[in-house]
Amino acid sequence: MLTLTINGQAHDVDVPPDMPLLWVLRDVLGLTGSKFGCGIAQCGACTVHVDGAALRSCMLAVGSLGGRAVTTIEAIGATPAGARVQKAWLDLEVVQCGYCQSGQIMSAAALLAATPSPSDSDINAAMAGNICRCGTYPRIRDAIKQAAKAT
Amino acid sequence: MAVSIDPKARNLAPSRRALLQVGAAVGGGLMVGFLAPARAAAPGGSGFAPNAFIRIDRAGKVTLIMPQVEMGQGVYTSISMILAEELDADWAMVAVEHAPPDEKTYANPMLGVQATGNSNSIRAFWTPLRKAGAATRAVLVQAAASGWGADPASLRTEASQVIDDAGGRRIAYGELTGRAAGLTPPADPPLKDPKAFRLIGKPLKRLDTPEKVNGQAKYGIDALPPGCKFATFAHCPVFGGKVARVDDSQARLLPGVRQVVVLDDLVAVVGDHMWAALQGLKALNITWDEGPNAGVSTAQVRERLVAASARKGVVAKSVGDAAKSLSRDAVEVTYDVPFLAHTTMEPMNCTAHVTPTSCEVWTGTQVMGRAQADAARITGLPLDKVIVHQHLLGGGFGRRLEFDPVTKAVRIAQHVDGPVKVVWTREEDIQHDLYRPAWHDRLSARLDGDKIVGWKHVITGSSVLARWLPPAFVDGKDFDAYDSAADMPYDIANFQVEFVREEPPGVPTGFWRGVGPAHNVFVIESFIDELAHKAGKDPVEFRLGMLGKQPRLAAALKLAAEKSGWGGPLPKGVGRGVAVQPSFASWIATVAEAGVDPNGEVKLRRLVCVVDTGIAVNPDTIKAQLQGGLVFGLTAAMFGEITVENGRVQQSNFHDYRMLRINETPPIEVHIIPSGEAPGGIGEAGVVAAMPALANAIFAATGKRLRKLPIDRDVLAGRTST
């Protein structure tokens, strides 16, 4: 039995310790906001925060988490950076099919929390791991810059 | 029923979103947070329902039934705008619900089946939806008029109210529903003058985006009916192969693995969660009977295409005498494009629950009616016992025009107690796709000065249409295979386009975003560019010289040249390329700017795209669709290639089937030419534009003509020759 701290709540889960966090979130806890896209940390759709750092939950064994705080897309709006990112996403209509956007927003929120005024190359480095098949990249870039300017 | 978006939700700030709570609403536990509860499909079940698309309740909520699916193209919003415009509904009170499977009531008027594809949601439904909205408005006005004893012609409508200015009174639609339900809507109501549009033409915020930003949006892969188990599976890696033997002894020992389902062509592992299913799958020892396609390779496919292209094809179009015109001084070239996978971000999936008397399916599909029909076929149940819960789609791109994920899930679910969610691994998704066909094109043309006077284009490849829509495949003619080729915009006196159908052995083919135009316009606009250079003419001027009969396209080309700074200086190793296309009833001109370094690496610098798409229902959506489509097309041009060896697809995930990423994506400007013409299609148009614009930019930068995709860096670097 493992105890995980997700979005400020403790959850006891009876799962193998090598089980990736993504499947615990989606299939055991019903938190389906984090998405499955590739399973090999190549697409970023599964991005969550662990103690504020953006990580790919599809390759993150729950046994390695300990008591570290996990934040998912369902709760990122309660953080200052997350709220600014979500507002910019809506203002600029970034989203098309939306499937990748949980991961995009989580990566963007982690970027802004660490780097309040990111340059284009900061954005490239932080966001290159998140694939968008609908091609919303130009608007993602603009929205990050807009969120950075908002206070 | 299925996806539904409620007006109350749209204005709430994301930070107030509560953790989702799966409701056990009628039809399945999908409706959560601010999605309205699922309700019975029968029109008139609750409130006034004058037609298949509109329902108004006594509180005045206007529910719009969506005949087309939402896969990112913004159609839930654009279709709602059309209905709400003619209805004069209060936009803030509009709710959206997806139509049930019903091939008769909700068939796409242009396709003849209930399907979303071919960039025609707006064009196909423009008039029918306007009439539905206007007819509903007419009965509401009539109802108010008879209630007041007033002349209907003296009344007007706005924001879900009928208003009598002279009498100083108004009444809400909700209050009129009782009386309106007793009136017969007019068959051919007058439609608004576009000058009077209040919604259409405005960049209204999309209805589906708030829930996509806070994790609440439910895609097929997110379905969680109570008691649901989780499964994944493997097909034979060779196309068409079968299961010979399975040793599941190790798999069954793993924690969370519940059962192994062996079908003739796949083996599925069912577990308590996807991890158990994945681990179980890895632990299986499967012996495959590879079947007849174990020797298939892309080289073999290519050889067969080239040989077939020498056959006489079905003539798609013939003007003048191309053979005579090309009997001397003709330039002859061949072009080749590869198989391509769709790779929607949401992998294929479907949740199914089969009992002796019912079949319930949760998925995101572009073909509701066909999905339902296939589930009924497999289970032997009548249609009314098969429920299909539609969801938002995490990308369609034509992949979800195929119902095979539903077929597989239902077949597996027949062996499982309770619902089972069948999710494909990304590897299965890439290796068991229905691919954009590999094409081989032979073109010849003759120049007389700076005009093309003879043109012949022979298109050789698979007919997806023949399989997907047999009634449309008549006399060997596949209108999609030569779409944008037979209707090439240039004024050429002697012109012939032929199609030779040649199916690849074993490799399944399907519609891929951009369909026929995505392949044809690449080939045509590249060859046009070759001819421009041969004639010693500027590529923009050369095209304009032959677009005399295409004023809308010529105007788009001129604006694209202006906005992109065409003709202006560029650094060494950087070039601009232009491409024009009529496709999906829109006229588009695109200029790409790209640099190529000595290693053959291509750097995308800028794209400018100009579109005349007739009336722009939602201009922001149009810009977004073109930007996104261009990225999709650039990805294919830069990296896209599915190769087959020993009957197996060699690519498997995003590490070897590469996608364009944000750091490689240039700024993309879109300009919309205002127009009062009927709306054109836009969803696929950007894909079509990207490939030739980029290839022509690369030629301008390097002098190297690429007659194959994806871009060959060895050729650009001079490590090999073309």
Contact criterion met (CB below 8 Å) for B682 and B584: yes
Which pLDDT score, from 0 to 100, does residue B91 have?
A: 96
Q: Please tell me what DSSP assigns to residue A26.
A: I
User: How would CATH label the architecture of A2-75?
Assistant: Roll (3.10)
The CATH H-level superfamily of A76-149 is [2Fe-2S]-binding domain (1.10.150.120)
- Conformation bin of residue B614: beta by default, left when phi > 0, alpha when psi is -120 to 50: left
CA distance B108 to chain A (A): 21
Which pLDDT score, from 0 to 100, does residue A114 have?
A: 97
Residues 6+ apart with CB under 8 A from B177: B47, B48, B56, B57, B58
Report domain extents, chain A: 2-75, 76-149
Q: Which residue of A has its CA nearest to B619?
A: A93
The token pair at B407 is 């077929």
Which pLDDT score, from 0 to 100, does residue B3 have?
A: 53
Domains parsed from chain B with CATH numbers: 4-213 (3.30.365.10), 220-291+348-423 (3.30.365.10), 299-339+435-505+512-717 (3.30.365.10)
Query: Which positions of chain B have pLDDT values less than 70?
Result: 1-46, 722
Q: Residue B4: name the closest of B159, B218, B173, B174 by CA.
A: B218
Which pLDDT score, from 0 to 100, does residue B38 have?
A: 34
The token pair at B204 is 């209204």
Q: What does pTM read for this prediction?
A: 0.94
Q: Which residues from chain A sit within 8 angstroms of residue B686, using beta carbons?
A: 135
Q: Which residues from chain B sit within 8 angstroms of residue A39, using beta carbons?
A: 278, 425-426, 653
Which pLDDT score, from 0 to 100, does residue B721 have?
A: 77
Which pLDDT score, from 0 to 100, does residue B200 have?
A: 98
CA distance A140 to chain B (A): 8
CA distance B221 to chain A (A): 9
Which pLDDT score, from 0 to 100, does residue B197 have?
A: 98
ipTM of model: 0.99
Contact criterion met (CB below 8 Å) for B513 and B322: no
Q: Longest Cα pair distance anywhere in chain A, in angstroms?
A: 44
Q: Which residues from chain B sit within 8 angstroms of residue A97, using beta carbons?
A: 71-72, 212, 344-346, 392-396
Distance CA B138, CA A25 (A): 50
Which pLDDT score, from 0 to 100, does residue B4 have?
A: 57
